[in-house]
Chains A and B, each alone.
Chain A
Amino acid sequence: MDILVVGAGVVGAGVVKRLAESSSVPVGRVAAIDRNPDRAWHLAEKYGSPVTVGRLEDPVDVVVLATASGSQARLARRFLGSGRVVLATSDSVSDVRRMLGMNGAIRQQNSLVVAGVGMAPGLSDVLASRAAEEFDRVTEVHVAKFGTGGPDCARQHHRALSSLALEWRGGWKQRPGGSGRELCWFPSPVDAADCYRAALPDPMLLVRKFSRADRITARMAATRRDRFSSWLPMLRPPHPEGKLGAVRVEVRGQRGGAWVGRILGASGAPGFVASSVVMGVLELIGAGKLDGTGVVGLSEVVDAGEFLDLVAGQGVVSEEFAGA
Chain B
Amino acid sequence: MELVKILRRALVALAGAAAIAAILRARGTGGMSPQSGGWRQISGSNKF
Q: Do A and B bind each other?
A: yes
User: Interface residues, chain A, CB within 8 Å of chain B?
Assistant: 130, 133-134, 187-188, 262, 264-265, 304-310, 312, 317-324
Q: Is the interface of B mostly helix, strand, loop or mixed?
A: loop
Is B5's CB within 8 Å of the partner chain A? no
> Is there an interface contact between B40 and A308, defined as CB atoms closer than 8 Å?
no
> Is there an interface contact between B39 and A320, defined as CB atoms closer than 8 Å?
yes
| Contact residue among A265, A304, A322 (Cβ-Cβ distance under 8 Å from B44) | A304
Contacts of B40 in A (CB 8 A): 319-320, 322
> Is there an interface contact between B48 and A322, defined as CB atoms closer than 8 Å?
no
A123 to chain B, nearest CB (A): 12
Residue of B nearest to A319 (CB): B39
Contacts of B43 in A (CB 8 A): 308-309, 312, 318
Query: How many residues on the B side are at the interface (Cβ–Cβ under 8 A)?
Result: 14
Instruction: Give 10 nearest A-B pairs by CB, closest first.
Output: A323-B34, A323-B37, A305-B44, A308-B44, A309-B44, A319-B39, A187-B39, A320-B42, A322-B37, A317-B41
**In the complex with contacts A265-B39, A323-B35, A318-B44 CB distance below 8 A:** yes
B43 to chain A, nearest CB (A): 6
Contacts of A321 in B (CB 8 A): 34, 37-39
A298 to chain B, nearest CB (A): 14
Contacts of B37 in A (CB 8 A): 321-324
What 12 additional pairs, Cβ within 8 angstroms, besides A318-B42, A321-B39, A322-B39? A134-B48, A188-B39, A308-B43, A308-B44, A309-B44, A310-B44, A318-B41, A318-B44, A320-B39, A321-B38, A323-B38, A324-B35
Contacts of A187 in B (CB 8 A): 39
| Contact residue among B34, B36, B45 (Cβ-Cβ distance under 8 Å from A305) | B45
> Is there an interface contact between B36 and A323, defined as CB atoms closer than 8 Å?
yes
- B residues 14-40 touching A (CB-CB < 8 Å): 34-40
CA distance A323 to B42 in the complex (A): 15
B39 to chain A, nearest CB (A): 4
28 contacts between A and B (CB under 8 A): A130-B44, A133-B48, A134-B48, A262-B48, A264-B42, A304-B44, A305-B44, A305-B45, A307-B44, A308-B42, A308-B43, A308-B44, A310-B44, A312-B44, A317-B41, A319-B39, A319-B41, A319-B42, A320-B39, A320-B42, A321-B34, A321-B39, A322-B39, A322-B40, A323-B36, A323-B37, A323-B38, A324-B37
